[in-house]
Chains A and B, each alone.
Chain A
Amino acid sequence: MRQSVIHWFRFASPQSFYPLAGRMIPWFWAATAAFGIAGLWISFFVAPTDAQQGEGYRIIFIHVPASWMSMFLYLVMAFWAGLGLALNTRLSGMMAQALAPTGALMAALSLWTGALWGKPMWGAWWVWDARLTSELLLLFLYLGFMALQAAIDDPRRADKAGAILALVGVVNIPIIYFSVKWWNTLHQGSTINLTKAPSMAQTMLWGMLLMALCFWMYSIAVALTRVRAIILERERHTEWVKHALE
């Protein structure tokens, strides 16, 4: 038991995580490609045309996974940030920093695809729908996190300040979501619900699931690449970095 604990903490040091991440990245890219091909196949060739929305509904296959990932990545980021704050491990802060841009990208994608879906379905690029509004606020939270980290010069201080912000954000996200939802039902009698609009056929669920897995693997691969860069940037004056380069 004790042995395994030590074993795990060994990988928590940037020095041993750097080569490990390098070895893992190709596998995650392979998984991204595999899930992506399968997901796209289902989204375009297996899933039937929707009775109400025609072919336009196919946007759902990236819109919903992007929304899921943007929320999930915020949780993961806050988890790493909190871990870094509690255990004072160097790697945790780097992981949180590496995840933020990918999370922001997912939120932006979700907004973009939401707008492109909204135009033909609702006749407007932007609707103050509860989901879209919370997604916008989530994007702001990501941008705030990144801006705060960029504004603080000392990386250790930046990590800790970012961690507190991420944790505050995690407490607030459900409150923001429910308040926006309440506000939405109060102001618009009939809302069109994005995910429930087309009848959820089994194949569509599979398509979304596969695309979500693809996005998940993609996020891991990119975050690992970025965390490797961050490790080298921050540890550039240590001995091991000089030996690790080939």
Chain B
Amino acid sequence: MHWNSVAEFFAMGGYALYVWGSFGACALLMIAEPLLARRRLSEVRRSLIRERLADELELQQKSQ
């Protein structure tokens, strides 16, 4: 452990902009991408479930 304080850790020996810019962008993209992928999945799911519901309603109306 070679950091003496939290502030020193965040200062990164004067390279804060570059180091945190890199790690920050990395974290940002790697959080955003899975969220987008998951949203795509849930959107398809939702539309499929809606379609199934529509099928059921159609059947009900026909049988009445």
Tell me if B13 and A109 are in contact (CB < 8 A).
no
**Cα A129 to Cα B7 with chains together (Å):** 34
Q: Mark B26-50, 1 if CB is under 8 A from A, else 0.
A: 1001100110011011011100110
Tell me if A105 and B29 are in contact (CB < 8 A).
yes
Per the CB 8 Å criterion, the residue count for chain B at the interface is 31
Tell me if B52 and A221 are in contact (CB < 8 A).
no
Q: Which of A59, A222, A225, A241 contacts B19 (CB 8 A)?
A: A59
Q: Which residues of B contact A (CB under 8 A)?
A: 1-3, 9, 12-15, 17-19, 21-23, 25-26, 29-30, 33-34, 37-38, 40-41, 43-45, 48-49, 51-52
Q: A105-B33, A113-B25 are in contact. List 8 more A-B contacts (CB 8 A).
A: A54-B14, A56-B19, A59-B19, A59-B22, A228-B41, A229-B37, A232-B48, A236-B51
**A8 at interface by CB-CB < 8 Å:** no
User: In the complex, which range does the number of interface residues on chain A fall in?
Assistant: 35 or more
B43 surroundings in chain A (CB, below 8 A): 229
Tell me if A55 and B26 are in contact (CB < 8 A).
no
Tell me if B48 and A113 are in contact (CB < 8 A).
no
A54 surroundings in chain B (CB, below 8 A): 13-15
**A45 at interface by CB-CB < 8 Å:** yes
A62 surroundings in chain B (CB, below 8 A): 22-23, 26
A56 surroundings in chain B (CB, below 8 A): 12-13, 15, 18-19
**A181 at interface by CB-CB < 8 Å:** no
Tell me if A116 and B18 are in contact (CB < 8 A).
yes
A129: shortest Cβ distance to chain B, in Å? 16
Tell me if A112 and B48 are in contact (CB < 8 A).
no
B54: shortest Cβ distance to chain A, in Å? 12
**A155 at interface by CB-CB < 8 Å:** no
Tell me if B40 and A66 are in contact (CB < 8 A).
no
Tell me if A226 and B12 are in contact (CB < 8 A).
no
Tell me if A218 and B2 are in contact (CB < 8 A).
no
**Cα A242 to Cα B48 with chains together (Å):** 8
**Cα A116 to Cα B34 with chains together (Å):** 24
**A1 at interface by CB-CB < 8 Å:** no
B14 surroundings in chain A (CB, below 8 A): 54-55
**Cα A245 to Cα B25 with chains together (Å):** 35
